[in-house]
Structures are given as structure tokens and as C-alpha cells.
Structure 1
Amino acid sequence: MPRFLVIQSARLGDLVQTRRLLLTLAERGETHLAVDTGLVPLARVLYPFARLHALPLYTRDAATAARQIDDVLRIWRDLDFAAVYNCNFSSAGTSLCRLFVPERVHGYRPGSGGPERSPWARRAFRLTEHRACGSLNLVDYWGHFASDPIAPERVNPPASGGGAGLGVVLAGRESRRSLPVPLLARIVRTLHDFMGGPRVCLLGSAQERPVARRLLRELPARMLGNVEDLSGKTDLPALVEAVRGLDRLVTPDTGIMHLAAALGVPVLAFFLSSAYAHETGPYGIGHTVVQADIPCVPCLESAPCQFDVRCLRPFEEERLPGALVALLEGGRPADIRLPDGLQAWASGLDALGGILKLTAGRDAQASLRCAARRELAAWLGISAADIAGEGSSPDAVAEETARRWLRADSDWMLPSRRYS
């Protein structure tokens, strides 16, 4: 039986989004997964079939980290991996791959000038230069590191409420991508009433405890008996159990959002600033995303905002809660009075993977987005007839533009899929 190694050196959400790749490999052989030490308990729950290797990626104790990594490398030397899938463009993860024959390393491998992208990674990554036309979910970006990955519908179950109430993720790691407490409280009140007064579960790390206290002060007294604050009170396996069975999860773009999608919990997600739903939205069928749609979105997370986070302003309009209710009721687009500067999307799937379908608002990039998606699919050998058009078929100009974006002269010299 062949052995495979996946190196995922990023955070919680990225571990969950590696799901398509890992499930694919699990059907083909013995699957090994290397993750940060702190994520091992979660990986054990999500991927019980995988043999786990703990990497001290975020420790400040360099001497201890070096010893632990050396122990891991000694184990790897004795294992004959048929293929190694390195998921992150980082010197830390890529340096580990120097142990392996370069031809067996997929995704990112050491090169003479630093980490080197494979043909698929290089081609798909070109789309990040045109992020407003993004059309590839990160789950599928990693999933297609392996040839012919499992069908998208086998990755996450269709979303369906489980009777455990409303979950509220208090904030994300990047404050610009989270809703301020007064606005979050208004949305939680609206959803609590719309859902008939269910239990409300507040979720987050210990760092979000002050946010939880401010939110509780903003909620009406009639709700407080239904609210359970779990911020900072769950380890990762307990977090899985807290999310499992919720009727809905309200969240910015967070790792908990991806965990909920993997568990089949319906997600209502708010994307703004550097968060872009076409790249990292909830994966599967049955999720709802409200995306900021102004010219500077999506921005770079690492760069300061020059516009005072103006992408937040449409979320603050008074008619948003009513629009959310109409959206969740499945109303006609004409009945969903979404504020200008926002889009509403429903998650779905096609032959390439996760896709979003516009349910309210306008998408000026629809033709280019569809053309880029079809161009990526064609390179993978997927028929254009099996690619959803997101409500629009690309015109000839869009198709030519997408080809120019996503192809380079050197691509013609590389056999498709030889090194993913």
C-alpha cells in the first residue's frame, strides 16, 4: 500500500480546508499528516484515518523545536512516501521537503531561489493577481494537488440544522474582518427572534472573552437566559462538540466557520476587508454568505486600510437585518432589500468544486469569474459543460482575458498534471 504525506503548516481553518486532499489520499493508501503541535487534537478528531506528526511551528523555544523536528525527520527517513503534498508557500514547511526526492513533492518544493510552485499551484495562484474575479475555493486549490480528487459532494455533508440552537463566532483573528459588537448584537437579536428563541452559544478563544461581555451587555434581558458563553472554555475537541448539531452559525471568515461546514452546520458568514468568499467561503451545499462589494475589496490583510474600513458601512445600514430574514426565508431577489455595496451568495458545487451563486446584489465580475473558472477546469481536464456559470456565461472578451491571466509561455512546455 502506498504512503502519502501531507504537510499543513498553517492554522485551524487551513487544516479543515485540506479535507478534500486528505480524503482523496485516504482512499489510495496510508495517509500521514504533519501539523502544528497545537492542532494535533483537532486533526485526530477530523481525520482519524491519518497518522499524525506534530511539528512545533509556532513555539518560541528554538532549541526544543529543533529537537522535535529532528525526531520527526528521523521517522520520515524510514518511511517510503510515494508522494508528499506541501500545502503552504513558506520556508518552514518547504525546508522539510529537502528530505524527499523533488519529483515526489507536490504543491511547494525547495527551489534554487526559495520555495517553488508546481504547475497547478503556479497557474491557480495567478488568479490572486485578480482577486476580485476569484473563482477557486482554497479547498479545491489544495484538493487538486492530487490528480482526480474525490467528488466535491463527498467532502462536506449538505448543511442541515441539528436542533442545538444558534452559534455565534465572536470575532476573527483579524479585527478588520469582524463585525463590531453593536452590529453583531443587532444581527443576533434578529436571528434569535426569527428562529423562535433558540439557545445561543457564543464561541471564541480566551482572547474573545471581552467581546463576549460587551455582546451580552448589548443583548436584551429577555435573551440572556438562552445565551451560553463558551469563549475560552473549550479545547479543540470540545469545540467540535459545541459546533456539532447547531441550527446555524453566524461568523466572519474563521476556522470555526470551516469546522461548521465540515460538520454540516448551516453557516451565515459575513465577508469584508481582506476576506473574500470566492476564495475561502464555507464549502458545500446550504450555506449563505454576505460579501462586501466595493472597489477596494478584497484588500491585503498585511496592508493598513487607507479608507477607514469603508467596506463595513453597508453592513451597518438599518435595513440589513430585515434583508437577512428575507434571505434566510428564501425570498425572491426582488424581495431581499440588501444594502448597496453588499452581495448575498448561496454555496453550491460543480465539477471543479465549491462555487457561490448570487442570490441578491450585483456581480460586475460574473463573466470574468466564470471564464477564469472554466480556464482552470480545462487545464484539469474538466469539461466546460460541467462548470457552473454563476448566473452568467462568459463572453469572448472574458474568455480571452482569462486565458491571458492564467497561461504563460512556459505552460505549453509542461505536460498537464505531471507535477501538481
Structure 2
Amino acid sequence: MAAFLVLQAARFGDLVQSKRLILTLQEQGRVCLGVDAGLAPLARLLYPGAEVFGLRLHGQPGAAALAENRTVFRQWRETAFQAVYNCNFSPVTAAICRLFEPEIVMGYRPAQAPESAILRSQWARLAFRLSERRLCSPLNLVDFWGHFASSPLAAEQVNPLARPGGQGLGVVLAGRESRRSLPLPLLASILQTLFGLLDGPEVYLLGAKAEQPAAHKLQRLLPAKIQEKVNDLSGKTDWPGLIHAVEGLDALLTPDTGVMHLAAHLGVPVLAFFLSSAWCHETGPYGRGHVVWQTSRSCAPCLESAPCRHNVACLEALQGKELLRSLAAAVRPEARIRVQLPDTLQFWRSDLDALGGVLRLEGGQDAHAPQRAFTRALLAEFLHLPEQSGAHAVGTASPELIDPEERAALRRWLCHDADWMLPPGRYC
């Protein structure tokens, strides 16, 4: 039986978003999955068919932790892997890849010289260019990693169709970056509207122990009839408990978080709010049945590591009554409610095509839709996918709406000749 190694040393959400790649390889043989030790219990729950190895990779590992790593590395050296998929542009995982012959390492591998350099495969180089023009980026991270493998699993087979499960409304209190989270008064207003639209469900507050003060403040902002239905789970769930709390929910209200990706993995409808540096076309919920509100000021999406020069002005687009009306359109699609949004706010529904996850515009304006559609068509061409996978990718936008000169400029930017000479997983 063929054996494969996947290295995913990043965060909670990244582990969930590696699903298309991992499931693809599981259909072909045995999969070993190397993750940060703190995420190993979650990885075993998400991917029961994989052999999970927890590694002490971050901080300053002590002697005992380094000994654990060496034990794992010896086991890997003795395994005849057909391919090693390094998902992280990281000196740590690149160093691990020196255990293996260079020709079997996919994604990122260490250079021979200088030793600190990391090489990207053709596909990784192509996708990295999208970070230069994020407004034109149409590639979900699930599909970026999924296409590390040739002929990845069909997008429809990754996550189940999202449907209400009858178990109430989940509310993620905050994301890792405060700028990408909703202020508590706004979150309370949205929660009150959803509570009415969903006929008074049980409400579950989700977050780490650090979010417990926020949970208490949020509850004080809610009317008594909602407070009676609130179950504060912040800081009270381990990995199995978190999965139990999320599965079966009617919906999950959340910023861009790992819990959001977990909900999509479980088939729970996601109501996601993306602002600041969060960009829904890159890390939006994967699969069908989710909705996303994306703020779209001229400065968005911004750089997460840079301070905001506008005092998080993108929040202004989420303050009006138009947003609350769009919530009704989100949870009651059968009502066909027309959505009118300010110029700086977009309302999207998630969908799938041959390339993978895609968003279709339901409300608001998207000035960059033709460019994004054309870029998606170029990615499909590079991967030898059917032409229609890019042509109908973004709402009703067509790549034909941009003039030939701009089309040629986009092609030159994205498609360097050397990247198109070999299969996507190869290096040159």
C-alpha cells in the first residue's frame, strides 16, 4: 500500500482546511499526518483514518520534547513514503523535509543552498502571487492545499451540504485577531435578530477561557428572554466537547475562526462576518449552505500585521438596518428577500465548482468580480480543469467584461512561463 506524509504545523483552522488534501490521499493509501502536539487530539477526531503524529515544534522545546520528535523522525525515515506534502512555508517543516529525498517532497522543500532558503512548487508559486493582489484572489485555502495532490477529491465530497440540525444557535465570541471580530454591542444586536428569526433557539457561546469576560458582557447586553436561553461554554470545552457543541446546530454565527471551519466540516450552516484582514475568497467556509458578509472598503483586505490607520472603519458598514434585513435573507432563503446593502458591504453564498470552493454574490457591489473570474479561469487552465469551472465562478460576472489589455496583463502577472512547463507539483 502506498504511504503518504502530510505536514501541517499551523493552527486549528489550517488543520481543518487541509481536509481535501488528506481525504484525497486516504483514497490512495496510508496517510501519516504530522501536526503540532497540541492539535494531535483534534487531528485524530477529524481524520480517524490517518495515523497522527504530534510534534513539539514551537517555542523552545525541552530535551524530552526533542527526544519525542526524534522518535517520530526515526519512524518516518524507516517508512517508504511515496510523497511528502509540506503544507507550510516554514523553516521548521522545511528542515524536517531534509529527512526525505527531495524529489518526493511536494509544496515546499528546503533548497540545497543557501540552507535557509525554501523552494516552492509551481502551484505554490502561482498561488503565492495571488497574495500580491488579494482583491483578485479567487482561491480558497482548502483548494490551495487540495491541489498539492494530482486529481484531488471532488469538492462536493469534502464537506457535507450544510443544513440546520435543530440544536440551536452557536455564537463564536471572538477570533484570534480582535480587529477581525465583531464588537460586543454589534454582536448582541445581530444575535437578537437571529434569535427572533430562528424562533427563540438555545444559544451556545463558544470561545477559549480568555473570552469568558466577553461572554459575561455579551449576556448583560441581551434581553432577559434571550439570557434565559444562553449556555456559556467559553473555556469549558476540550476538543471532543467543542465538536459535540457545534455538531447539530441550526447555525453558527462567527468571524473567520477555526470553529467556523469545524462547523463547515460538520455540515453546520455558517453565518460568517469577514472584515479587516480577513478575506472570504481565501478562507471562507467551505462547501454549500453557508453565507458570508464581507466588508469591502478600498483599504480592504488589509495586512494583519500592520496597524489600522482608519480606526477599523470597515465596521461602519455592519452598523445599519440593511445588515439586519440581510440576516433574514440568509436564514430564510425560501422567502427570496431582496438585499440592499451599503457600497462597502457584500453578502455572499458559498458554492462549489470544478476548481473547488467559490462564493456567489447575493447583495452589494463587487467591482473586482470580472478580474477574479478571469484569474479563476487561469488557475483552472493551469490545473487542466474544464473551462466552465472558471467562467461562472463569481456571481454573474464574466471574465469577458475586462478588456483584452487587462486580460493580457493579468495573464502575464499570474502565469510565468516556467511555471507552466511542468506538472503543478514539480519544482524548477
- Give me the CA root mean square deviation: 1.5
**SS of corresponding position for 2:138:** coil
**SS of corresponding position for 2:182:** coil
Matching of residue 416 in structure 1 with residue 419 in structure 2:
no
Aligned position for 1:19 = 19
Measure the CA separation in 2 of the matches of 1:336 and 1:330. Answer: 11
- Equivalent position to 1:373, from 368, 373, 376: 376
1:55 counterpart letter in structure 2: L
Deviation digits for residues 230-251 of structure 1 (CA, Å, limit 9, x no counterpart): 0000001110111000000000
Cα pair 1:270 1:289 within 8 Å, conserved:
yes
**Cα distance 1:22–1:418, how it changes in 2: closer, same or farther (>3 A)?**
closer
Cα pair 2:295 2:314 within 8 Å, conserved:
yes
Q: Could you tell which deviates more after superposition, 381-390 or 348-357? A: 381-390
- Equivalent position to 2:260, from 234, 257, 260: 257
**SS of corresponding position for 1:306:** coil
1:242-281 equivalences under 5 Å are 242-281=245-284
Deviation digits for residues 19-43 of structure 1 (CA, Å, limit 9, x no counterpart): 0000000000000000111111111
Displacement of 1:338:
2.0
**SS of corresponding position for 1:116:** strand
Deviation digits for residues 314-363 of structure 1 (CA, Å, limit 9, x no counterpart): 11224321232134323788831223310000000000000000000011
Aligned position for 1:347 = 350
Where structure 2 has 5 or more consecutive residues not aligned to the other structure, the ranges are none
1:259 counterpart letter in structure 2: L
Matching of residue 133 in structure 1 with residue 141 in structure 2:
no
- Equivalent position to 2:192, from 165, 189, 192: 189
Where structure 1 has 5 or more consecutive residues not aligned to the other structure, the ranges are none
- Equivalent position to 1:287, from 270, 287, 290: 290
Deviation digits for residues 354-393 of structure 1 (CA, Å, limit 9, x no counterpart): 0000000011001100010010110100121233331111
Cα pair 2:121 2:425 within 8 Å, conserved:
no
Matching of residue 400 in structure 1 with residue 408 in structure 2:
yes
Matching of residue 41 in structure 1 with residue 41 in structure 2:
yes
1:120-199 equivalences under 5 Å are 120-199=123-202
Matching of residue 72 in structure 1 with residue 72 in structure 2:
yes
Matching of residue 9 in structure 1 with residue 16 in structure 2:
no
Displacement of 1:120:
0.6
Cα pair 1:367 1:398 within 8 Å, conserved:
no
Measure the CA separation in 2 of the matches of 1:110 and 1:62. Answer: 25
Q: Could you tell which deviates more after superposition, 199-208 or 68-77? A: 68-77
Cα pair 1:171 1:178 within 8 Å, conserved:
yes
Displacement of 1:75:
1.0
Deviation digits for residues 72-108 of structure 1 (CA, Å, limit 9, x no counterpart): 1111111111100000101111110000001100001
Measure the CA separation in 2 of the matches of 1:402 and 1:159. Answer: 35
Measure the CA separation in 2 of the matches of 1:94 and 1:40. Answer: 20
**SS of corresponding position for 1:319:** helix
Cα pair 1:127 1:405 within 8 Å, conserved:
no
Count, aligned residues = 419
2:393 counterpart letter in structure 1: G
Cα pair 1:375 1:402 within 8 Å, conserved:
no
Aligned position for 1:230 = 233
Measure the CA separation in 2 of the matches of 1:398 and 1:384. Answer: 20
**SS of corresponding position for 1:238:** helix
Displacement of 1:124:
1.3
Displacement of 1:261:
0.2
Measure the CA separation in 2 of the matches of 1:279 and 1:203. Answer: 24
TM-score by length of 2: 0.95
TM-score by length of 1: 0.97
Displacement of 1:65:
3.1
Q: Could you tell which deviates more after superposition, 303-312 or 170-179? A: 303-312
Measure the CA separation in 2 of the matches of 1:418 and 1:115. Answer: 15
2:247 counterpart letter in structure 1: R
Q: Could you tell which deviates more after superposition, 305-314 or 357-366? A: 305-314
Aligned position for 2:242 = 239
**Cα distance 1:282–1:313, how it changes in 2: closer, same or farther (>3 A)?**
same
Measure the CA separation in 2 of the matches of 1:398 and 1:372. Answer: 11
Aligned position for 1:83 = 83
Matching of residue 201 in structure 1 with residue 207 in structure 2:
no
2:426 counterpart letter in structure 1: Y
Give % identity.
Answer: 54
